[in-house]
Chain A
Amino acid sequence: MVNKDYQVSELVENAISGDKASLEQLVSLFHEDIYRTVYYRTRSRMDAEDLTQEIFMQMIKSLPGLKNTACFKPWLFRIALNRVRDFHRKKSILNFLGTTTDVEDAGHVGTETHSNPADKVMQKEFWKQFHQFTGTLSRWEREVFTLRFLDHLGIREIAEALKKNESTVKTHLYRALKKFRQNPELRDLLKGELS
């Protein structure tokens, strides 16, 4: 982890000083993580792909302004979360005006990664249970929980990405985990997968 962080910092410094290869390496290192982060929040593959592209363009533009290269990861996630927030805001305005239709993948189904019908059923059931659970969380609880256990950010990284202090993040995470413990359907699904 420390080695990876050091490697990222070095790549960031090189990219800032104009090394295109480092920049490309940096993008390829975080591309899938950022794509998934967006996908978990938009539930649409197409939107996730478009937003991921925009996020990295924003990253490239703003990189020279990054002061602490060690904070690159939370900084990048912050760009991603802001873009997703803008996307939802724009979408809700368009929905209000009736000029758009929802293109969310119904239960995240329709991905060619799972051709097996049993996998498809499992996939559908998983996302259904997951969204039912996250529907019980407040906005911040959901954001912190997703960043921690789906995006695999540490508490400090989450605090930096959300511009909140660590104790606030821990409080939201504690509340989210408490609700998770009270959700037998999702836990049974996960236990079934574990056994």
Chain B
Amino acid sequence: MKIQTIHLDEEQLIRSVVDENDLSADVRNHLSACPMCQGKKQQFERELDTLGHMAKIFAPSPRESVTYSEKPGFFEKVGFYPLLRPVLAALLIFGIILPPALLTISEEERMARLVEEMENDRQLMTEIRALEEDALPDFYQDISGEFYGYFDEEFVNFVAPMEETRIRPAGRFASSPD
């Protein structure tokens, strides 16, 4: 009577490569005794070894070794690393986070500022109206001929006398009274 030999199937072959100890005792015994199954397993393992070997030779070698001095960061460059952190944290809080809170003003202050702004606006409008009347600055007023503020009436009469104030000449050139 011929005894039928059952070789490892595909699943058992893969499991033997993952971990031979996970196979049942019967299958393990067969594997240790069967050259054909051992050959299959070894062939499979050689393929995987070749894969690892080829990956290794086809990967470039590193160009540089590990350097032990870590590149200095900002804090290390500055020098006083342990002290600087809380200082910078405080600056951050007081310089960026708090100012909006500090800038909140009371109602009275807000009203005072509003009144001040209104007064400034009023003064500005007054100046604009004055400029509408005469846009020239004071310096140019005397050469423009449009500013007579410092000539009194006597001076004007002297330059251009009115008929009744005109001085009549005496002597032969004087006109005889009718």
A: residues with CB less than 8 A from B are 24, 27-28, 31-32, 35-36, 39-40, 45, 48-49, 52-53, 56-57, 60, 108, 111-114, 122-123, 126-127, 130, 149-150, 152, 155, 170, 173-174, 177-178, 180-181, 186-187, 190-191, 193-194
Indicate if the CB atoms of B64 and A49 lie closer than 8 Å. Answer: yes
Indicate if the CB atoms of B48 and A39 lie closer than 8 Å. Answer: no
Most A Cβ at <10 Å: residue of B15, B18, B19, B52: B18
Indicate if the CB atoms of B55 and A32 lie closer than 8 Å. Answer: no
A-B pairs under 8 A by CB, number: 88
The residue in chain B whose Cβ has the minimal distance to the Cβ of A151 is B52
Closest CB-CB distance, B160 to chain A, in whole Å?
84
Report the contact-size class of chain B (Cβ under 8 Å from the partner): 20 to 34
Residues 21-63 of chain B, each 1 if its beta carbon lies under 8 Å from chain A, else 0: 0100000000000000000000010111111101111111111
Other A-B pairs beyond A52-B62, A174-B14, A190-B50, 5, CB < 8 Å: A28-B65, A36-B56, A52-B66, A149-B52, A190-B47
| Dominant secondary structure at the A interface | helix
Closest CB-CB distance, B84 to chain A, in whole Å?
20
Residues on B with beta carbons closer than 8 Å to the beta carbon of A111: 58-60
- Once A52-B66, A149-B48 are accepted as A-B contacts, the answer to whether A39 and B18 lie under 8 Å apart by CB is no
The residue in chain B whose Cβ has the minimal distance to the Cβ of A166 is B19
- Once A170-B19, A174-B15 are accepted as A-B contacts, the answer to whether A193 and B59 lie under 8 Å apart by CB is no
- A sample of 8 inter-chain contacts (CB < 8 A) reads A31-B62, A52-B66, A53-B67, A149-B48, A149-B51, A149-B52, A170-B18, A178-B14
Residues on B with beta carbons closer than 8 Å to the beta carbon of A56: 66
Closest CB-CB distance, A177 to chain B, in whole Å?
5
- Once A27-B66, A170-B22 are accepted as A-B contacts, the answer to whether A108 and B47 lie under 8 Å apart by CB is no
Most B Cβ at <10 Å: residue of A31, A111, A149, A155: A149
Indicate if the CB atoms of A36 and B59 lie closer than 8 Å. Answer: yes
Indicate if the CB atoms of B54 and A177 lie closer than 8 Å. Answer: no
Most A Cβ at <10 Å: residue of B22, B54, B67: B54
Indicate if the CB atoms of B65 and A40 lie closer than 8 Å. Answer: no
- Once A31-B65, A170-B19 are accepted as A-B contacts, the answer to whether A108 and B59 lie under 8 Å apart by CB is yes
- Once A40-B55, A170-B18 are accepted as A-B contacts, the answer to whether A48 and B62 lie under 8 Å apart by CB is yes
B17 contacts the other chain (Cβ, under 8 Å)?
Answer: yes
